[in-house]
Amino acid sequence: MNLRLGITGKLLVWFLVIIAIFYGTILVLYINVQQVVRLSGTIVAKNYAIASGTKKMMEALLSTEENKQKYLLLKKADYLVFFNEAQRAFEENLAQVTRLTTMGHEISDVWREINDAYATYPDAAQVSDYLAGEVKNPAAVDTFWVPESIINEWITKISVERLKNEEEIEYATRELNRKGRLSAKNGLVGLAVSSLVGLLGIFYLAYSMIRPLRELMDGIREISSDRLSSPLKVRSQDEFGELAHAFNEMSNRLRKEERMRSDFISMLSHEIRTPLTSIRESVNMIREEVMGPINNRQEKFLKIAGSEISRISDLLSHLMQASRLEPGLLNMQLEPIDPHTFVAECTNSIKLAAEAKTIDMRVQIPPQLPPIVGDRKQLQQAMLNYLSNAIKFSEPDTCITIGVRQHQSKNRLSFFVKDNGPGILEADQAFLFNKYFRGQRERERLEGVGLGLSIVKNIVESHHGTVWVNSQVGKGSTFGFTLPSAPE
- pLDDT tens figures, 331-345: 678 889 999 999 999
State the distance between the two ends of the chain, measured CA to CA, in whole angstroms.
Answer: 55
Nearest-CA neighbor of 67 among 52, 77, 56, 57?
77
Task: Report pLDDT for 191.
Answer: 77
| 375/18 Cα distance (integer angstroms) | 60
- Residues 459, 381 contacting (CB under 8 angstroms): yes
Specify burial of residue 49 (Cβ count, 10 A radius: 0-12, 13-18, 19+).
buried
CA–centroid distance for 321 within its chain = 46
Task: Report pLDDT for 22.
Answer: 77
Task: Report pLDDT for 2.
Answer: 47
**In the chain, which stretches have pLDDT less than 50?**
1-2, 443-444
Task: Report pLDDT for 332.
Answer: 74
- Residues 372, 337 contacting (CB under 8 angstroms): yes
Question: What are the b/e assignments for 185-202, b being 16+ CB within 10 Å?
Answer: ebeeebeeebeebbeebe
| 308/442 Cα distance (integer angstroms) | 20
Phi-psi region of 248 (alpha: psi -120 to 50; beta: other; left: phi over 0): alpha
Q: Which residues contact 223 (CB under 8 A, 6 or more apart)?
A: 229, 251, 254
| CA distances from residue 368 to 66, 236, 358, 404 in whole angstroms, order as listed | 121, 52, 31, 11
| CA distances from residue 93 to 56, 61, 368, 395, 417 in whole angstroms, order as listed | 7, 11, 110, 122, 112
Task: Report pLDDT for 1.
Answer: 41
pLDDT tens-digit readout, 24-64: 878 877 887 787 777 777 777 788 888 888 999 999 999 99
| 275/313 Cα distance (integer angstroms) | 11
| 55/85 Cα distance (integer angstroms) | 16
| CA distances from residue 215 to 10, 154, 167, 228, 241 in whole angstroms, order as listed | 21, 89, 70, 14, 12
Task: Report pLDDT for 252.
Answer: 77
Q: What is the 3-state secondary structure (H, E, C) of 138-152?
A: HHHHCCCCCCHHHHH
Task: Report pLDDT for 438.
Answer: 63
- CA torsion 173-178-182-188 (nearest 10°) is 90
- Residues 449, 386 contacting (CB under 8 angstroms): no
